[in-house]
Amino acid sequence: MIKLRENEYKTLLIIKRLGGKASAEQITSESGLPDATVMRAALALQEKNLVRILEEKRTIVELNDEGKFHARRGLPERRLINALISLGGRAPLEKAVKKAKLEKQFIPIALGWLKRKNWAVLDVKTNTLQLSGKPKKEEADEELLKLLNEKKRVVEDLPLELQSAVKILKRRKLLKIEEKTKRIIEITDTGWKTIKKGIRATAEVTQLTPELIITGKWRKVKFTRFDVTAPGPVVYPAKIHPVQQIIQRVKEIFTEMGFTEIRGPIVETAFWNFDALFQPQDHPAREMHDTFYLAYPKTGRLPKKSIVNRVAKTHEDGWKTGSTGWRYHWNPEEAKKLILRTHTTATTIRYLADHEKPPIKVFSVDRVYRNEKMDYKSLAEFHQIEGIIMDKNVTLRDLIGTLKEFYLKLGLKRVRFWPSYFPYTEPSAQSTFHVPKLKKWFELCGMGVFRPEVTAPLGVKYPVLAWGGGLERLIMLKLSVDDIRLLYKNDLDWIRRTAVCQ
Ligand code: PHE
């Protein structure tokens, strides 16, 4: 005779009654106990070797909107082939499409699958569609489509042929797929033997009441031992997106360090984004494939004449800055062009033009845009952390010290500074962060002291320390994410799992 805790006893008897094997849901509904209690009891019984818990992965599929659409009308290739057959097996593509009443966006899909399924070929020269095989009345993918149109199904329960059709429809993006784990609890041989010998529930007290104390009964009763390490139900409280949390932290840190936040326009003139930063007008970064230009309106306004003239002169021959300039004819039309800012240095330089007097300590965390292909390491829209310090006697060492402090507050210790180059700073440097696992240094941000070619045309007389760099890279390092797209794809699972501290 062995003694079991009440819930374990109950659970074991229910499984026995259900034939020795039952799913967690079945036990929950039979016993009226909460999910977590049943699972805890099952785990305890497993510990005693009385049951074993089997996990079965189940994949549930249903049609998405496009899937439902095709389920109603037929797959695009089926509609097109039916039309072709009724047109005698050979017809101009246009005619067959019309006959099939096929929507424009499905034409390439239909053609692709006609070829793959070997139903018809398109003669590209004459644009004629020709029947090439004998299409079956219904293929596995169509059968599955019909089936799923009735209701969702468990993939593992489908016949093998339809399971492969799931893969096809999944690739065609016609399905919604959900993975679930089903837990089955089964009585073991030891379990059956033990039940035969007899089991009993011990009455356990789960709560110490005043009555138990006053009457002294507490001395005799048996208290339930709580296993505080046992898994309970997971709770996901509402929280701020990890990216936003880090942005907030970055802003907090700069504010703590005495900086003020500034913001500037996203749609910017090339003047502030490039020209004011002494980037020549034929600089490769200005090309369409790197920068987004606005189609409408195409141009914006330049600042006051005095600034424009001095910037123009500096580009052409260096003006009074001691530089020789870039030695070309500066074109105001090029500078008027509207773009999406490619860096937030456009924002700090704009600010500087309006604030020539020291001291200045400002920062910005904001969006920038570059015409880049999206992949695991780049996005076309991302954030930069940027800032400037202007004061009478500041030097690059002050900048390095400030940024070291910033990174330290953010929890990054292994940061190094290397010499670098930017058209608008001299000297220039770059900060990098070391990831031991990858044995690699990652670039964090560029920095330097603005050149006189940048500051003099704005009437600024003191050294200006400037820095700027990508925010996402920093977030990826902090959160150990190796694909930048994860940060913005609203993957709820990742968002829930990701704890951001500091
Ligand atoms: N604007 C530079 C970039 O986008 C960074 C930078 C800012 C460099 C300020 C020097 C000074 O990479």
Q: Which three-class secondary structure state does DSSP give residue 1?
A: coil
Angle at 80 between CA 79 and CA 81, to 5 degrees: 95
Minimum-distance ligand 1 atom for the alpha carbon of 445: 5
Taking the domain 1-58+174-232, which CATH number applies?
A: 1.10.10.10
Q: How far is the C-alpha of 219 from the C-alpha of 212, rounded, in Å?
A: 9
Closest approach atom of ligand 1 to CA 386:
7
Atom of ligand 1 lying closest to residue 446 CA: 8
DSSP 134-200: ---S--HHHHHHHHHHH--EEGGGS-HHHHHHHHHHHHTT-EEEEEEEEEEEEE-HHHHHHHHH-EE
Mutate to test the pocket of ligand 1, among 344, 365, 445 (most ligand atoms within 8 A of CB): 445
Using the mean position of ligand 1's atoms as its centre, give its distance from the Cα of residue 9 in Å: 68
Model-wide pTM > 0.75: no
Question: 115 vs 54, 84, 97, 123, 132, CA distance in Å?
Answer: 44, 14, 16, 11, 9
The Cα-based distances of 290 to 287, 293, 300, 341, 365 in angstroms read 6, 10, 20, 11, 21
Q: What angle do CA 228, 231, 235 make, to 5 degrees?
A: 105
Token digits of residue 322? 């001691």
Contact 394/463 with Cβ under 8 angstroms? yes
Rounded CA-CA distance 36/231 in Å is 8
C-alpha dist (Å) from residue 445 to 73, 197, 428, 488 = 54, 72, 11, 21
- Single-letter amino acid code for the residue at 285: A
Count CB atoms within 10 A of the CB of residue 252: 11
Sign of the Cα torsion 441, 445, 451, 453 reads positive
Give the chain's radius of gyration (CA, Å): 34
As for ligand 1, residues whose beta carbon falls within 6 Å of it are 343, 345, 422, 425, 446-448, 466-468
From the CA of 422, how far away is ligand 1's center (Å)? 7
Closest ligand 1 atom to residue 384 Cα is: 4
Distance 469 CA to ligand 1 centre (A): 6
CATH architecture of 244-497: 2-Layer Sandwich (3.30)
Where are the domains positioned within the chain? 1-58+174-232, 65-171, 244-497
Across the beta sheet with 120-123, the strand order is: 90-92, 128-131, 120-123
Atom of ligand 1 nearest to the CA of 348: 9
Q: From ligand 1's centre to the CA of 385, what distance in Å? A: 10
Ligand 1, from 345, 351, 385: best to mutate by most atoms within 8 Å of Cβ?
A: 345
**Would you tell me which CATH number, out of the four given (1.10.8, 3.30.70, 1.10.287, 1.10.10), belongs to the domain 65-171?**
1.10.10
Q: Which of 136, 6, 43, 161 is nearest to 81 (CA)?
A: 136
328 CA from centroid of ligand 1 (Å): 24
Question: H or E element: which one contains 443?
Answer: strand 440-450
Q: How far is the CA of 447 from the centre of ligand 1 (A)?
A: 6
Q: Separation of 311 CA from ligand 1 center, angstroms?
A: 19
Angle CA 282–283–289, to nearest 5: 100
Query: In 3-state terms, the chain is what percent helix, strand and coil (to 5)?
Result: 45, 25, 35
Please report the pLDDT score of residue 223 as a whole number: 87
Find the farthest-apart pair of alpha carbons in the chain and give their distance in angstroms, rounded.
102
Count CA atoms closer than 13 A to 143's CA, side-chain side: 13
Backbone phi and psi for residue 123, each to the nearest 5 degrees, phi listed first:
-85, 110
Position in ligand 1 atom list of the atom nearest CA 450:
11
What's the average pLDDT block by block, 10 residues per block, for the chain (502 residues)? 88 95 93 90 94 92 95 95 93 94 94 93 92 87 94 91 93 93 94 93 87 94 82 83 94 97 97 97 88 96 97 97 95 97 97 95 97 91 97 96 96 93 96 87 94 96 96 91 93 88 54
| Amino acid in the structure at residue 466 | A
CA distance 484 to 411: 20
Q: Which residue has the tokens 């003191």?
A: 462
pLDDT at 136: 86
pLDDT 10s digits, 166-181: 999 999 999 999 998 8
State how far the Cα of 77 lies from the Cα of 99, in Å rounded to an integer: 13
Check if 1-58+174-232 and 244-497 are the same fold.
no
The CA 432 to ligand 1 mean position distance, Å, reads 14
Strands (E), 218-294: 260-261, 267-269
How distant, in Å, are the alpha carbons of 77, 79, 97, 129 from that of 91?
Answer: 15, 14, 10, 5
Q: Position 41: which residue type?
A: A
Ligand 1: centre distance to CA 384 (Å): 9
Bridge-based pairing of strands 267-269 and 128-131 is: unpaired
Closest ligand 1 atom to 368 CA: 4
